Amino acid sequence: MKNLKYILLILIAFNFIGCGHYNFTGTGNIDAKTFQVNYFQNNSELIEPGIERNLTLKLQEIIQNQTNLNLTISKGDLLYEGEIVDYRITPMTATADQKAAQSRLTISVNVRFSNKNKEADNFEKRFSFFRDYDGVELPTGATLNGYIDEIFERITQDIFNESLAKW
């Protein structure tokens, strides 16, 4: 009976040791304490006011929510910077009378990521996502903001996964 207690204690100890460097975001052990997200400029030909601010804030938010890194305005261990390079609405399918039956809102972002402590992780990459909607609809106001938020949620998660999660 005494040996059974020791075996059980050892198994419990190994269980906790094995889970020490894992979390549900997949980030593992990040060799950084701070991160910095510079303002993403909107360099697309079609300008939607305010989306550069939304992207910057959404990227800061996802990193803060999924890591224990501290946001800083300068000299961060991790640096995210870039620009919105494409914002476009494209007709996808047409009706018999040559009207758009479905349209697509696409946003593309060019991101430069730098890790001061591990330069092998540095990259420059383009991230893009889209939202399809009914072609007769002209999204404005809250509807358009909802579509943009949906796109930015996907793009920022992709940026997070590429830079920190290594999925």
Strands of 31-147, DSSP E: 34-37, 41-42, 70-71, 78-94, 100-115, 123-134
Q: Structure tokens of 41?
A: 């400029």
Contacts (Cβ under 8 Å, ≥6 apart) of 7: none
Write down the pTM of the prediction. 0.80
pLDDT of residue 31: 81
CATH of domain 26-165: 3.30.160.150
Per-residue pLDDT tens listing for the chain (167 residues): 566 665 555 656 555 544 444 444 445 567 889 999 999 999 999 999 999 999 999 999 999 999 999 999 999 999 999 999 999 998 887 776 777 788 999 999 999 999 999 999 999 999 999 999 988 788 889 999 999 999 999 999 999 999 998 75
DSSP H helix total and E strand total for the chain: 3, 6
Rounded CA gap, 77 and 72, in Å? 9
Pairing mode of beta strands 34-37, 41-42: unpaired
- The predicted pLDDT at position 13 comes to 55
For the chain, which residues make up each domain, given as ranges?
26-165
Strand partners, 124: 112
Torsion of CA 38, 48, 90, 138, to 10 degrees: 140
